[in-house]
């Protein structure tokens, strides 16, 4: 009986890193990555060395110096005696506020325009096409300045609300005042407030959150969860019997009653704005710069989202519409229940890019005097302290983090929406 020779693999040799196809690609990638890291390290070291030689070492201590300037629109407490860090935090929250308002407006308007562009009514379709072409072919900065000018020149001054026969009147039961200095809306208040929860920090790092807000969010979240359970039960019954039970009365009670009871216990009331002296007092003041910026970014971005929505709808086979119509569904329900849910898988990926573009375009806020993170950290703070490199690096980091968070959230949503093959 003959024995077979030993066929074990030969020992590893360094020459295999270059000549063996199993290792060559990894070797090239490792060398390339090493060269890139070395280049970055050299650039950073050379920059820091040159700054040190010029007597301008990198130092972020300026963030804790007194800011000394006012911010006209803010979501948290701030005074000129606070630090530049606090001013940057206020600017960051202002940036996020505009980004959220703009994304919501752009999504709603863009979806409607995209659907109407496919309308069988020739006039409506052409008007929507004109809307898209006008807004997306003019730079967004011009739209921001133009809308700001229109609001400032066309809206009445606070003085127009004065007198027995005023030239302008308040809206919504005398609760909202729209002026060229901004819009004043009622402020929600609580007679039996639970107070604030101190999260962390002190001084410029202080951060508090309203316990009333936390309670409302918790109750709403539980109500939505319970309503989802009711809807899931209705689906199970429908699958078992073919008949879907009526759920809207239970939904109404679950979503409204707990929240209404909590508001009653907290003594909820509103503080409406009132004209005193030369301006309105009390209430919440939304400055014209904020409204103009959110409107301009929303309208501009909606033109691009409209084309994304239109393309997503056209990507769905027309047979889906015909099949839904054969079941007796009306056109509105066909679009809402059949076409759009499928089109979302095509719409969401390019939609992420539009949200990112809108968020980065908020940096143009300084054109209308709105103090966002660019206007605070990258504007007044940088000019006062002379720390241009540090300010720009922090500004770049802020926008990078915001963009990565938006991408992560939208990618997660997109992953849940995509088709799963079994």
Predicted pLDDT at 9? 62
Q: Which domains does the chain have, with CATH numbers?
A: 78-139+287-417 (1.10.3720.10), 204-267 (no CATH)
Predicted pLDDT at 204? 57
What average pLDDT does this structure show over 163-188? 87
The closest alpha carbon to 71, from 53, 92, 51, 56, belongs to: 92
Predicted pLDDT at 122? 92
Q: Are 77 and 204 in contact (CB under 8 A)?
A: no
Choice among 8-22, 260-274, 311-325 with the minimum mean pLDDT? 8-22
**CA–CA distance, 24 with 17 (Å, rounded to integer):** 5
The closest alpha carbon to 357, from 407, 322, 395, belongs to: 407
Res. 7 pLDDT band, cuts 50 70 90: low
Predicted pLDDT at 8? 58
Res. 422 pLDDT band, cuts 50 70 90: very low
pLDDT by residue (tens digit) across 389-413?
A: 889 999 999 999 999 999 898 888 8
Predicted pLDDT at 419? 56
**CA–CA distance, 343 with 347 (Å, rounded to integer):** 6
Q: Are 174 and 272 in contact (CB under 8 A)?
A: yes
What's the chain's average pLDDT?
86
What average pLDDT does this structure show over 294-299? 96
Q: Are 281 and 183 in contact (CB under 8 A)?
A: no
- Global pTM reads 0.82
What average pLDDT does this structure show over 256-277? 89
The closest alpha carbon to 107, from 302, 296, 341, 297, belongs to: 302
Q: Are 47 and 54 in contact (CB under 8 A)?
A: no
Please list, in sequence order, all residues whose beta carbon lies within 8 angstroms of the beta carbon of residue 108, skipping any fewer than 6 positions away.
302
121 backbone dihedrals φ, ψ, rounded to 5° = -80, 115
Could you tell me the end-to-end alpha-carbon distance of the chain, in angstroms, rounded to an integer?
Answer: 52
**CA–CA distance, 333 with 294 (Å, rounded to integer):** 31
Tell whether the model's pLDDT for residue 72 goes beyond 70.
yes
What average pLDDT does this structure show over 283-307? 94
Rg (the chain; Cα; Å): 29
Predicted pLDDT at 417? 67
The closest alpha carbon to 347, from 406, 307, 404, 407, belongs to: 307
pLDDT by residue (tens digit) across 212-245?
A: 888 999 999 999 999 989 888 888 888 888 787 8
């Amino acid at each position: 009986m003959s024995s077979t020779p030993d066929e074990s693999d030969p020992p590893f040799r360094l020459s295999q890193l270059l000549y063996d196809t199993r290792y060559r690609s990894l070797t090239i990638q490792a060398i390339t990555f090493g060269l890139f890291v070395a280049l970055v390290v050299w650039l950073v070291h050379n920059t820091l060395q040159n700054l040190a030689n010029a007597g301008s070492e990198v130092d972020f201590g300026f963030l804790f110096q007194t800011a000394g300037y006012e911010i006209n629109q803010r979501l948290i407490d701030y005074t000129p005696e606070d630090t530049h860090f606090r001013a940057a935090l206020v600017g960051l929250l202002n940036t996020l506020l505009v980004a959220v308002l703009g994304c919501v407006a752009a999504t709603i308007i863009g979806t409607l325009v995209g659907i109407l562009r496919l309308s069988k009514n020739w006039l409506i379709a052409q008007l929507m096409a004109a809307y898209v072409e006008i807004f997306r072919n003019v730079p967004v900065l011009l739209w921001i300045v133009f809308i700001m000018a229109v609001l400032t020149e066309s809206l009445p001054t606070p003085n127009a609300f004065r007198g027995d026969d005023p030239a302008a009147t308040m809206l919504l039961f005398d609760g909202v005042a729209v002026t060229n200095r901004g819009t004043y809306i009622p402020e929600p208040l609580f007679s039996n407030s639970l107070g604030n929860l101190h999260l962390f920090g002190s001084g410029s790092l202080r951060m508090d959150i309203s316990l009333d807000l936390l309670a409302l969010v918790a109750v709403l979240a539980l109500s939505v969860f319970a309503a989802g359970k009711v809807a899931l039960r209705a689906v199970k019954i429908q699958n078992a019997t073919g008949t879907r039970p009526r759920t809207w009365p239970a939904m109404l009670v679950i979503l409204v009653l707990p929240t209404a009871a909590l508001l009653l216990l907290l003594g909820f009331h509103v503080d409406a704005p009132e004209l005193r002296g030369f301006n309105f007092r009390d209430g919440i003041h939304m400055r014209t710069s904020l409204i103009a910026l959110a409107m301009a970014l929303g309208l501009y971005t909606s033109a691009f989202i409209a084309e994304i929505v239109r393309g997503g709808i056209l990507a769905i086979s027309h047979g889906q519409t015909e099949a839904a119509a054969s079941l007796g569904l009306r056109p509105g329900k066909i679009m809402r229940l059949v076409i759009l849910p499928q089109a979302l898988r095509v719409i969401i990926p390019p939609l992420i890019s539009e949200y990112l573009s809108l968020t980065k375009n908020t940096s143009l806020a300084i054109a209308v005097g709105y103090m966002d993170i660019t206007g605070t950290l990258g504007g007044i703070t940088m000019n006062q302290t002379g720390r241009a490199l540090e300010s720009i690096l922090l500004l770049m980091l802020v926008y990078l983090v915001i963009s990565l968070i938006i991408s992560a959230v939208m990618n997660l949503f997109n992953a849940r929406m995509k088709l799963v093959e079994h």
